[in-house]
């Protein structure tokens, strides 16, 4: 137990938080909070904000994510680092499958105050976890593999996309705040696990490069 990585403890805490939140949602203990947050957020409504958030929320839709994945795949292929792209594909894929399974189990109906027509169940948020895992995995890759002036701006931009996507889901009434929080908790768990795999792979790559240099 002493040698257990701190990441495992974080994963355990996040999972416990998700389970607790899910129980509160099922028991209807979060309804007042969810409605209060929506009513507070909608006070900032204006045409410009609505247009920006509408574009961002559509980028996290099924079609939007597929387009983003294709564009990203082309970029990684051109950079000759397509092996890194597998983390984005796996993370987004796992997230989508997990969310759909949970939706069918929990079967929470969407908010009655929704602005946009959205089919399916509400808890957890599919758009949020897709966005979180797509941009979040890019953040991990940038943090671990990119040096120079672009590193911080890219992390900031990807982080903003995650935050704005989450806000957009509540803003348009497509999800409750707790739907979004649940997806973020699950997204963090998946990213932490992914980060551990990345560290192992990238560490092995460095060791191989060192051995190659020494051999030469």
What is the pLDDT, as a whole number, of residue 216? 46
Residue whose structure tokens are 């109906």: 109
User: How far apart, in whole angstroms, are the C-alpha atoms of residue 131 and residue 135?
Assistant: 6
Residue 212 in domain: no
Give residue 208's pLDDT band: very low, low, confident or very high (50, 70, 90): low
Q: Is the pLDDT of residue 130 over 80?
A: yes
CA distance 71 to 168: 23
pTM: 0.88
**39 domain residue, yes or no:** yes
CA nearest to 173, candidates 102, 104, 213, 125: 125
What is the DSSP secondary structure assignment for residue 43, as one 8-state letter?
G
Tokens 């169940």, residue? 121
Distances (CA, A) of 65 to 23, 73, 89, 107: 30, 12, 10, 24
Q: Residue 87 is part of which domain span?
A: 6-207
77-119 per-position pLDDT tens digit: 988 888 899 999 999 999 999 999 999 999 999 988 767 777 8
6-36 pLDDT, tens digit each:
889 999 999 999 999 999 999 999 999 998 9
The structural domain count of the chain equals 1
Does 215 fall in a domain? no
Domain-located, residue 106: yes
Q: What's the rounded Cα separation, in Å, for the pair 95 and 131?
A: 10
Q: Is residue 214 part of a domain?
A: no
Which pLDDT band, with edges at 50, 70 and 90, does 1 fall under?
very low
What secondary structure does DSSP assign to 131-175, as a single string? HHHHHHHHHHHHHHH--STTHHHHHHHHHHHHHHHHHHHHHTTSS
- Share the mean pLDDT of the chain: 89
Nearest to 127 by CA among 80, 89, 165, 176: 165
Q: Are 151 and 143 in contact (CB under 8 A)?
A: yes
Question: Using one digit for the tens of pLDDT, what is the confidence trace for 142-191?
Answer: 998 888 888 999 999 999 999 999 999 999 989 999 999 999 999 999 99
Average pLDDT over residues 196-213: 66
Give CA–CA dist 97/32, Å, rounded.
Answer: 29
Q: Is 1 part of a structural domain of the chain?
A: no
């Amino acid at each position: 137990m002493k040698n257990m990585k701190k990441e495992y403890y974080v994963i355990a805490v996040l999972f416990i938080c998700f389970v607790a939140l899910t129980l509160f949602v099922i028991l209807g203990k979060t309804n007042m909070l969810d409605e209060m947050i929506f009513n507070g957020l909608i006070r900032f409504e204006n045409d410009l904000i609505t247009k920006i958030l509408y574009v961002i929320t559509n980028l996290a839709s099924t079609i939007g994510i597929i387009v983003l994945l294709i564009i990203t795949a082309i970029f990684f292929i051109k950079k000759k680092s397509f092996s890194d792209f597998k983390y984005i594909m796996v993370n987004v894929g796992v997230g989508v499958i997990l969310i759909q399974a949970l939706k069918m189990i929990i079967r929470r109906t969407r908010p009655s105050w929704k602005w946009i027509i959205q089919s399916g169940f509400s808890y957890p948020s599919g758009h949020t976890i897709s966005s979180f895992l797509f941009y979040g995995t890019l953040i991990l890759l940038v943090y671990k593999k990119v040096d120079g002036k672009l590193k911080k701006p890219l992390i900031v931009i990807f982080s903003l996309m995650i935050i704005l996507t989450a806000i957009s889901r509540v803003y348009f009434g497509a999800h409750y705040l707790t739907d979004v929080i649940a997806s973020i908790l699950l997204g963090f768990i998946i990213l932490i696990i992914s980060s551990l795999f990345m560290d192992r792979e990238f560490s092995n790559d460095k060791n191989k490069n060192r051995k190659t240099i020494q051999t030469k």
